[in-house]
Amino acid sequence: MKKTVFMLGAAALVLMVIMMASRPKNLGAMGAEDKAAEVKIDNFTFSPTPLTVTVGSVVHWTNRDDIPHNVVSEDKSFKSKVMDTDESFTYTFTKPGTYTYFCSIHPKMTGKVVVK
């Protein structure tokens, strides 16, 4: 009996961990518990922009366009390599501020990350 109760408890714990790991996250406006956000590059645009995150957040830019792009901050704090389709770049924001960025291949493509 004790073994059965123990096994059921362990199974419930595993199920809870799986459910928590697979829960969807709001990546547009982040709360203090969220530390990752996604910016999609598609059709010569960055989306979302502006993106508001907290200090310590990791932002992933993923090129979903069929044209190569990169991500370059105006203050030179970060710069990606040229990304082909489905390639990505990640940067961790460690200081509050407003970070404006662009694609140096297509300078009219601009975006902004606000770090609070």
Strands of the 36-42 sheet, one edge to the other: 45-47, 36-42, 58-63, 88-92
The overall average pLDDT reported for the chain is: 83
What residue numbers bound the domain in which 111 lies? 26-115
Classify residue 65: in a domain, yes or no: yes
Reduced to 3 states (helix: H, G, I; strand: E, B; else coil), residue 2 is helix
Q: Which pair of tokens denotes residue 34? A: 């969220």
Question: pTM to 2 decimals?
Answer: 0.70
Q: What pLDDT sits at residue 18? A: 52
Classify residue 21: in a domain, yes or no: no
Classify residue 13: in a domain, yes or no: no
Phi then psi for 3, rounded to 5 degrees? Answer: -65, -40
Find the CATH number of the domain harbouring 102: 2.60.40.420
DSSP 9: H
CA distances from 49 to 14, 15, 16, 61 (A): 37, 36, 34, 12
* Count of structural domains within the chain: 1
Classify residue 11: in a domain, yes or no: no
Classify residue 50: in a domain, yes or no: yes
pLDDT tens by residue, 1-10: 666 544 444 5
pLDDT tens by residue, 69-91: 999 999 999 999 999 999 999 99
pLDDT tens by residue, 29-64: 444 445 899 999 999 999 999 999 999 999 999 999
Q: Which pair of tokens denotes residue 42? A: 């598609």
